[in-house]
């Protein structure tokens, strides 16, 4: 079975995939500290393979994204003057991959798909927080507040 490229990368036709990818991204941003590497890999798995689907689409307008790419290059080059090059290299790779995912998302998702995916992702985050149902004591005023799965308010 062959899936048409337009169902994955065309902003006018990829509402289902784009909504799913944005919802996964919102959930990954909210709970990556709780679930660890699995959510980060899921975030990368929904955005980075789109480059392989049609790399020309992303390379064609690369000059429009010169500022984020320059920032990513600066971060990567900061390894050379860092006192902790290993940690800096890891952080630089994370920032670069996140900028790359954001670039792919900006080229493949329409505003409507972004809004719908964000709302679904926020709803899933809210449902998960309500399911966990965590509460924390506020030491300043002595009240108990709902924090869900986040651990703090």
Q: Tell me: the pLDDT tens digits for 75-103?
A: 989 999 989 989 999 999 989 999 999 99
**Three-state SS at 8:** helix
Q: Tell me which DSSP letter residue 149 carries.
A: T
56 located within any domain: yes
pLDDT of residue 146: 75
User: Per the structure, how many domains does the chain have?
Assistant: 1
22 located within any domain: yes
78 located within any domain: yes
77 located within any domain: yes
151 located within any domain: no
| pTM greater than 0.85 | no
Mean pLDDT estimate for the chain: 87
26 located within any domain: yes
In which domain, by residue range, is 113 found?
6-146
Task: Report the candidate in 67, 55, 53 with the shortest Cα–Cα distance to residue 99.
Answer: 67
153 located within any domain: no
For residues 37, 31, 44 and 74, what is the CA-based torsion angle, rounded to 10 degrees? -90
């Amino acid at each position: 079975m062959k899936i048409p490229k337009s169902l994955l990368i065309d902003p006018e036709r990829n509402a289902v995939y784009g909504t799913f990818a944005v919802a996964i991204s919102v959930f990954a941003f909210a709970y990556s500290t709780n679930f660890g590497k699995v959510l980060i890999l899921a975030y990368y798995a929904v955005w980075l393979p789109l480059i392989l689907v049609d790399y020309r689409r992303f390379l064609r307008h690369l000059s429009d994204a010169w500022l984020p790419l320059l920032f990513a290059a600066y971060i990567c080059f900061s390894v050379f003057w860092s006192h902790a090059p290993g940690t800096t290299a890891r952080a630089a790779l994370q920032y670069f991959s996140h900028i790359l995912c954001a670039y792919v998302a900006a080229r493949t998702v329409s505003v409507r798909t972004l809004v719908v995916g964000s709302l679904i992702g926020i709803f899933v985050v809210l449902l998960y927080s309500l399911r966990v149902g965590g509460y924390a004591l506020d030491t300043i005023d002595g009240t108990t507040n709902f924090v869900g799965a986040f651990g703090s308010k």
